[in-house]
Amino acid sequence: MMPVLRPPRHPSLDLKPLIRDIPDFPKPGILFRDITPLLRDPQGWRAVMTKMGEICQQLQPDLIVGIESRGFIVGTALATDLGIGFVPVRKPGKLPGAVIGVDYALEYGTDRLEITADALQDGAKVLLVDDLLATGGTAAAAAQLVQQAGGTLVGCSFVIELAALNGRERLPASIPVDSLVVYS
């Protein structure tokens, strides 16, 4: 049964003004949602950590897994704040030692994500985090990778979700997905 996330109790700070729109990046026709201004704002960033921390209180993960590269920023800050460990999911060839990988389809080809082979062997409960949920391909691949590596995925949390792209539908239906800022 999927846990139901209660709306987090958090400071009433509106995060949208701290997210910058950059048209035609990284290519024409794309509207990039940039968290750089949010990262510069201590009150805004504290609100992100508070909100995601409340999600963690509900789900009780053992580890935070962050997706390269902005997921590292979100994930390491959250893990440090909570006093739990962090595990990176990276692009190919970036991790030392033995790795487990998963290939996944993109609109224009394929890509691959990897995790250190022994990172989740103990069946750790994992919260998967990233800055953005768009089409869901990368997040779905990372969720699959967590499970292949021996972890138990207990939820996914994102700073931003682009709801019109239906990325949430690509994630496992049995886990809660939470996004702090949703664009329709």
AA letter at 129? V
Strands 125-133 and 63-67: parallel
The token pair at 117 is: 């082979």
| φ and ψ of 163, to 5 deg | -60, -35
Give the integer Cα–Cα distance in Å for 91 and 39: 23
The active-site residue out of 33, 68, 107, 112 is 107
Name the DSSP letter for residue 10: -
168 is catalytic: no
The active-site residue out of 70, 90, 161, 168 is 70
Residue 114 half-sphere exposure toward CB, CA atoms < 13 A = 12
Give the contacts of 57 (CB within 8 A, at least 6 positions apart).
none
- Dihedral in degrees, nearest 10, Cα atoms 144, 57, 52, 91: -30
The token pair at 25 is: 């990046």
70 is catalytic: yes
Query: Could you give the residue numbers annotated as active site?
Result: 70, 107
